[in-house]
Structure 1
Amino acid sequence: MKTLYSKFVWMTLLIMFASGTIGFMIVNTFYHQNLKEKNDEKNVEVASSIVGLIESSNLDSITPLLQTIGDAGYQIYVVNEDGLEQFYGGDFRVRELPDAIVNNVLHGEVYHGMREFPKETFITGYFSNELTNTVGVPFTYDHKKYALFQRPNIKFLFNEIHLLLGGLAGAMIIISIIAMLIVAKRMIDPLTKLTVATNKIANEDFQVPILVNQRDEIGQLADSFRNMVKQLEASDRYKKEFIARVSHDFQTPLLNIQGYATLLENGELNGNYAEIIRKEAMRLSGVMKQLLLLTSFDQANTRTKKEPYRLDEQLKQIVMKFRWLLDEKNISIQLQLKKVEVLGDKEMLEYAWENLISNAIKYNYSPGEIQIAMSETSEYVQVIIQDSGIGNKNTDYGQWTERFYREDQARSTQVEGSGLGLAIVKEVIQSHHGILAFENVEPHGTKVSIQLKKM
């Protein structure tokens, strides 16, 4: 498997190679389109100056002059009408030159070999050390026609300064590659640490240290990773607590059903105890329905059937359902409602109101009091349900809506309930884009506020 480090290194080297190749092609194209003709003209001027000097001077021999010019940095080829040829200066890599070109120059034409040199993609014509890549001019010496072909000696282009610059460029490339390797390693190391941490977390080891402290995007990734680990740890703890609580809530009624069923089977109890079995079964069924409803919210499978309806009328109907229980516990209820229409799922919201009012009754004193009030703005309606009951010592209101949450064991045994009601209420209100808030009221009691959008 290719590591990210090796991919980064190879990609960087590939980019360097590609950029060098593309840069060379651009320079080569620029030379052929813009510099080649100018270079040809300059070399024709140099060649013309050489032959002008020869023709204007009374030289016994042209060899010393041409040898000196060749040693000064030129490659020269001279041929006369008798076919006598001589090379001066640096040697040509390719000495082939068509006879037609030589004859044309001997007859007075100027040869523009540099200008006419074929264009090649990966070879810059300026450095092509061929006899055809020269300029040729005619001259007369000792009553004979001559042709002189010359070009700059490329070896002189690479003198000490050029070698120094080339060495500097090479050193820069090597240093750049080494620096790139170091930077790549520093960039990849934190990701490697995160990968190791991920593997440990997959094995439920949430205490793995994440030793990444950087003030950049990788540092932000590490911070997000730490937060994710905390959430995963909390989720794992919640999952285990959830399983334990579900097991406990199921175990008690199941044991009761099993015990009474055994007694009935042995004839030790009369049939009246079948009612107890029925109630325990209904309790189990209720918990199961609540769990299924919460699961549907978790999986986003619950579709709200929103329709406009009168919220105040719904609250009045729900209060009427609990009238007998209010009278039984000697609890008075005050309604301060307004005629308000909301757009919502009537059945789901009914469940939420029933749960909240039921809690206000169950956890109230006898005698006690409940107040249900409404207020509204141009866009929202707020419903407040306040009781004078025992309240809740826990001021971490977020925990109130956790699944299977009960304030304490004593309270959970005194009052029946699964601890799922407020969790479902929270999901219902959120599905309507509403706001659910809790508050302890001094000296005793609880206030619940729900904000919903109006029609």
Structure 2
Amino acid sequence: MIKSLYTRVVLIFLVSVIGGTVIAFFVATWVFKDKLNENLHVALSNFGQDFVRVYETIPPSEADSFVSGMKQLDSYHVRIFDKTGQFQSYGTLQGHHIANVTMEQVNKVLRGEVVRVNTDGISSILLGLPLKTEMGTKAMFVEPLAPSSSTFLVKWIWSFVTYSLVTGSLLILAASMFLIRPIKRLTYATRRIAAGDFNVKLNIKQSGELGTLARSFEEMIHDLQQLEQMRREFVSNVSHEVQSPLTSISGYAIALKQVDIAPAERGRYLDIIIAEAERMSKMSDSLLKLSLLESQSQQMRLVTLRLDEQIRRVIVAIQPQWSARNIRFELNLRPVTLTADHDQLNQVWTNLLGNSIKFSTDGGTIIVSVKQDNKNVTVRISDTGIGISPEDQKRIFDRFFKADRAHSRKYDGSGMGLAIVKQIVSLHRGDIRVESELGQGASFIVTLPITTPIE
């Protein structure tokens, strides 16, 4: 089995061209056979008729002398038969083979018929014409000594075809190398990518299908490079987030083995171990939830709901968080009905409102507004907290990212909440963005379609 694409291209070209040329030649010969015969007989017939007119015009003795000096006899051989089968020849054979003439053919000509003998299907090699003289009717047979025009035409066509195939084959060999070169580059690049090397430059400047394939391949390399970077960051972040509680649990567990530890101190150590274990459990649950959302393994359960009522219920449910810090809410919730997954949206508002409470100062204000147009509804949640820097705003929705690293212990969390929020909003074909300045609070704007399309 031929595996090389280069060899396949060349062989397909050769088979196609050779097969097509041979078929076209025989089809054309078959279609124009009669026309070729008619055209190729003209020269031989004209010479024979001229020869006959010579004998019909001048006396036989003078005619013999005249025809013996004709230059056309260098190309034709003439035989004149009588009734007994005896003949007289004109023209020098010079090693040429002449055709046999039978008495049946001679008798046909003597009866006034014209005889044509064809041997190769196209060209005529023998022509018999009646010749009337003073001594009675004789049979004259003319045949060409030089190759006929039809034979020359066939040889010329075959030579042309042969040279064309040879030249075309050399050209297709060079063209195939030019066509296959980008594919070889793609194959080499694929092997490097499979080995983990994403610093691959194709340098393919062609247009058309190969150029499009090369552009798509380069985009794929870029996406894979980003994916690999994200994978490394994810592993690093998970290791960092897991290592911290594990260290605390291990340290306090070792401390509990001491015999002389006070009961109050022992209880505090146990509370820390339990808190760190719960932190790891929440992080694991968040990772699982985000994984299900990204893979869309968890089907959305779409229902028609009142968005303003849902947000009010979430605010009431988290009242212990904001009332203990004297945080005040300003609500501008216009009645809005939309189609969405109730539980997933509930998690969005819980996370965003929880973050606003967490990063607001005591006695601060959180403003929640809902607006609607013909197709979309916009929810804006603004606080008067510490704000987010422009650099952090670019990565605020990345998993494990914590905007305020310096106060990470003060503001507890795994950095997974906003990543989950963004994924839920994306599944609803919506958009989420942040507007913030350091020390001036932050606003999260969520835009959702009134009706979420089902795929």
CA distance in 2: counterparts of 1:340 and 1:404, whole angstroms: 33
The alignment covers a number of residue pairs equal to: 440
Q: Which stretch of structure 1 is more off in the superposition, 339-348 or 196-205? A: 196-205
Give secondary structure in 1 for the equivalent of 2:84.
coil
Aligned pairs for 1:307-322 within 5 A: 307-322=303-318
The answer for the alignment partner of 2:399 in structure 1 is: 403
1:285 aligns with 2:281: yes
Aligned counterpart for 2:84 among listed residues 70, 75, 82: 82
Aligned counterpart for 2:138 among listed residues 142, 145, 150: 145
CA contact (8 A) 1:66 1:76 kept: no
CA distance in 2: counterparts of 1:315 and 1:277, whole angstroms: 35
Aligned counterpart for 2:197 among listed residues 205, 210, 214: 205
Aligned counterpart for 2:112 among listed residues 108, 111, 124: 108
Residue-by-residue CA offset, 1:75-120 (whole Å, 9 max, x unaligned): 7676554334669669888946776555433432233555xx7xxx
TM-score (norm 1): 0.82
Unaligned runs of 5+ in 1: 118-123
How far off its partner does 1:64 sit?
A: 4.7
The answer for the alignment partner of 1:366 in structure 2 is: 362
Aligned counterpart for 2:181 among listed residues 189, 195, 198: 189
The answer for the alignment partner of 1:236 in structure 2 is: 228
Residue-by-residue CA offset, 1:227-246 (whole Å, 9 max, x unaligned): 33222222111111111111
How far off its partner does 1:40 sit?
A: 4.9
Residue-by-residue CA offset, 1:293-331 (whole Å, 9 max, x unaligned): 222233332311111111111111111112111112222
CA distance in 1: counterparts of 2:79 and 2:337, whole angstroms: 105
CA distance in 1: counterparts of 2:9 and 2:388, whole angstroms: 58
Give secondary structure in 2 for the equivalent of 1:414.
coil
CA distance in 2: counterparts of 1:248 and 1:203, whole angstroms: 27
Aligned counterpart for 1:437 among listed residues 423, 433, 441: 433
1:6 aligns with 2:7: yes
Supply the RMSD in Å over aligned alpha carbons. Answer: 3.7
Shift of the 365–93 alpha-carbon distance from structure 1 to 2, 3 Å rule, reads farther
Q: Which stretch of structure 1 is more off in the superposition, 16-25 or 445-454? A: 16-25
- Which residue type is aligned with residue 25 of structure 1? F
Unaligned runs of 5+ in 2: none
The answer for the alignment partner of 2:216 in structure 1 is: 224
How far off its partner does 1:377 sit?
A: 1.0
The answer for the alignment partner of 1:415 in structure 2 is: 411
TM-score (norm 2): 0.82
CA contact (8 A) 2:379 2:445 kept: yes
How far off its partner does 1:168 sit?
A: 8.2
Shift of the 39–284 alpha-carbon distance from structure 1 to 2, 3 Å rule, reads same
Q: Which stretch of structure 1 is more off in the superposition, 260-269 or 9-18? A: 260-269
Aligned counterpart for 1:306 among listed residues 283, 302, 309: 302
1:69 aligns with 2:65: no
The answer for the alignment partner of 1:154 in structure 2 is: 147
Residue-by-residue CA offset, 1:106-137 (whole Å, 9 max, x unaligned): 432233555xx7xxxxxx8435xx75xx5543
1:29 aligns with 2:25: no
How far off its partner does 1:198 sit?
A: 2.1
CA distance in 1: counterparts of 2:158 and 2:196, whole angstroms: 57
The answer for the alignment partner of 1:121 in structure 2 is: none
CA distance in 2: counterparts of 1:372 and 1:93, whole angstroms: 112
